Amino acid sequence: MPLKFIKPMEPELVDTPPQGDEWLHEIKFDGYRTQIIKDENGIRLFTKNGYDWTGRYIELAGEAEAIEAESFIIDGETITVNEAGLSDFRALQSAVTRRKPSRDLYLVAFDLLHLNGHDLRNMPVEDRREILQELIPAVGRIQISKAMPGTGDAVYHLVDRAGLEGMVSKRKGSIYRSGPTMNWRKIKCYAEKEMDIIGVQREAGKPAMVLMADKGRYAGGAFVAFKADKRQRLWDRVQGKVGGPVPIGLKKEKAEWLKPGLVGRVRFLKGEERLRHAKLLDFRDKQ
């Protein structure tokens, strides 16, 4: 029987790495989740939501043909890398939307769900990874996601210092089950940056947000979690700047747009095109 797409297992986002030695730790790559299927119908590559992107990933499909197995389902992440050797999501978006297939793509394989007629999902994750390690060629555009040595805290420190997006921790002995799970956990790295505050959103019953722009480009929203006195100082500064232009394409309802001159320092998750899990740390007048 032809193999069918399997809905991926998804790590839950947590704030800190899990403790203890019952976890495997891997780098979190900034790309598109991809499932490679090989069976009697050939090679197909699917997105996280089950869309067939074989045509866009034609170079990776050719590499998958060379894997010596009659059938398999491999779970991984399609990426492209920048000059520093780091995964680059914006470059990946550009690569997969070109009319001609891109030759700049790589796939980082991290799990094996099926091999030669056998469903491996009930095997422990470390056993599936061991089989996958033997299956993937040593060189090529399909590579194995190696487990990082050390404790969760030590791996997180290295990943953060290297400027990477984050890490994924997987509980040893865990089986593969589609959907969100705390047996896999992703821990992202944060960055801080000053950006222009161009608007605010204040609605009863909802957390207040400031709307930010980075070098003139809309960047998204950041939550305001100040104590009462500092929050009031912010609203006082905002009140004097209400009446700014509405950015093109951003006719947000219930937003107050501000005149230029207010800057905020924001803490946000790395590796995202827009601000995500962002928090306003401080604000000042632009000098």
Task: Give yes or no: residues 52 and 39 share one domain.
Answer: yes
78-134 pLDDT, tens digit each: 988 766 566 555 667 666 666 555 568 999 999 999 999 999 999 999 999 999 999
CB count in 10 Å sphere of residue 173: 12
Domain annotation covers residue 4:
no
Task: Give yes or no: residues 171 and 207 share one domain.
Answer: no
- Identify the active-site residue in 4, 7, 28, 279: 28
7-29 pLDDT, tens digit each: 999 999 998 999 999 999 999 98
Task: Give yes or no: residues 145 and 210 share one domain.
Answer: no
Please give the model's pTM, rounded to 2 decimal places.
Answer: 0.76
pLDDT at 84: 55
Task: Give yes or no: residues 44 and 169 share one domain.
Answer: yes
Which CATH number covers residue 270? 2.40.50.140
218-241 pLDDT, tens digit each: 999 999 999 999 999 999 999 989
Domain annotation covers residue 48:
yes
Task: Give yes or no: residues 184 and 194 share one domain.
Answer: no
Which CATH number covers residue 156? 3.30.470.30
Task: Give yes or no: residues 198 and 68 share one domain.
Answer: no
Q: How many domains does the chain have?
A: 2
What tokens appear for 105 in the block?
Answer: 């793509």
pLDDT at 270: 79
Boundary (domain end) residue, out of 173, 188, 203: 188
259 versus 272: which is more confidently predicted? 259
Rounded to 5°, the CA angle 138-39-50 comes to: 90
Boundary (domain end) residue, out of 188, 210, 229: 188
Residues 201, 255: contact at Cβ < 8 Å? yes
Domain annotation covers residue 154:
yes
The parent domain of residue 63 ranges over 9-188
Averaged pLDDT for residues 250-278:
84
Strand, coil or helix: 219: strand
Residues 224, 270: contact at Cβ < 8 Å? no
Provide the H-helix boundaries in the chain.
58-65, 89-97, 125-135, 152-161, 228-239
Task: Give yes or no: residues 210 and 173 share one domain.
Answer: no
Averaged pLDDT for residues 145-172:
92
Note every long-range contact of 66-71, with CB atoms under 8 Å and residues 24 or more positions apart, other chains counting.
66/137, 66/140, 67/38, 67/135, 67/136, 67/137, 67/142, 68/135, 69/38, 69/115, 69/116, 69/135, 70/38, 70/39, 70/116, 70/117, 71/3, 71/38, 71/39, 71/40, 71/114, 71/115, 71/116, 71/117
The rounded distance, in Å, linking the Cα atoms of 22 and 8 is: 22
Tell me if residue 4 is catalytic. Answer: no
Half-sphere exposure of 39 (CA within 13 A, CB side): 15
Could you tell me the pLDDT band of residue 143, with boundaries at 50, 70 and 90?
Answer: very high
**Percent of the chain whose predicted confidence (pLDDT) is above 70:** 91
